[in-house]
Amino acid sequence: MEQVKLYQREGMMKMNNKYKELSIELLNKIISYNAETGTLLWKEMSIETGAALGKNTRGIIIFNSKVAHTAISNITNQGYVRLSIRIKGNKHEYRAHRVAWALHYGEWPVGDMDHINGDRADNRIENIRLVSISDNQRNLCMPKNNTSGQMGVHYDKRIKKWIARISDKNKKVQLGSYVLLEDAIKVRKKAEKDYGYHENHGRKAVKNYEN
């Protein structure tokens, strides 16, 4: 997939053992994914699939009676949906958006991923995308400690003015100091467009977590 290759240059995530051990073929036998709703469901486990995971017959029966057909909905403190799969005695944890991407496109995602609307539990395929590290930083929610109502704008008590700045390629770009808050916000918003920031950048945090 061309999009995967495009973002392998930046924000690389090396494919460690937990991804190597869980093939896409095996993943499809374990979990189903609805791309429109973002829902992931545990599938009923066959003897063959159970054997590939290292489960015995009793373990397969217990899984099918208690887990199969249920939604994967465990949410971390950071707001991501997380799941765990035990493969031949080794327990591996996966973030649901990476699993969703793998099931939809047929390969594990490489690099950073972004939830476009800021809701990290919304794993609809239209809401998740592969991004570089810098692109990911251009779609963040508003920090809780922000006092201006605009990311990249803060008040300098020493000079009694509002300071506007923006980040570009890990460098801070100074946008000037202003007496009026609205002037600083206006300059900052223009800079966000000029530097390719996502339109959702600076949104309010979803639920009780932030970047």
Tens digit of pLDDT at every position of the chain (211 positions): 454 444 444 334 445 667 778 999 999 999 999 999 999 999 999 999 999 999 999 999 999 999 999 999 999 998 999 999 999 989 999 999 999 999 999 999 988 898 988 889 999 999 998 887 777 677 777 777 888 888 889 999 999 999 999 888 778 889 999 999 999 989 998 988 888 787 777 667 665 444 4
Q: Answer whether 108's CB lies under 8 Å from 17's CB.
A: no
What per-residue confidence (pLDDT) applies to 203? Answer: 67
First to last CA, the chain: 28
Q: What pLDDT is recorded for position 23?
A: 94
Distance CA 71, CA 31 (A): 10
Please tell me the distance from the alpha carbon of residue 199 to that of residue 202, in angstroms, as a whole number: 8
| pLDDT tens, residue by residue, 9-68 | 433 444 566 777 899 999 999 999 999 999 999 999 999 999 999 999 999 999 999 999
pLDDT tens-digit series, residues 11-25:
344 456 677 789 999
Answer for the pair 204, 141: CB distance below 8 angstroms, yes or no.
yes
Residue 202 has a pLDDT of 65
Burial class (CB in 10 A: 0-12, 13-18, 19+), 165: middle
pTM: 0.70
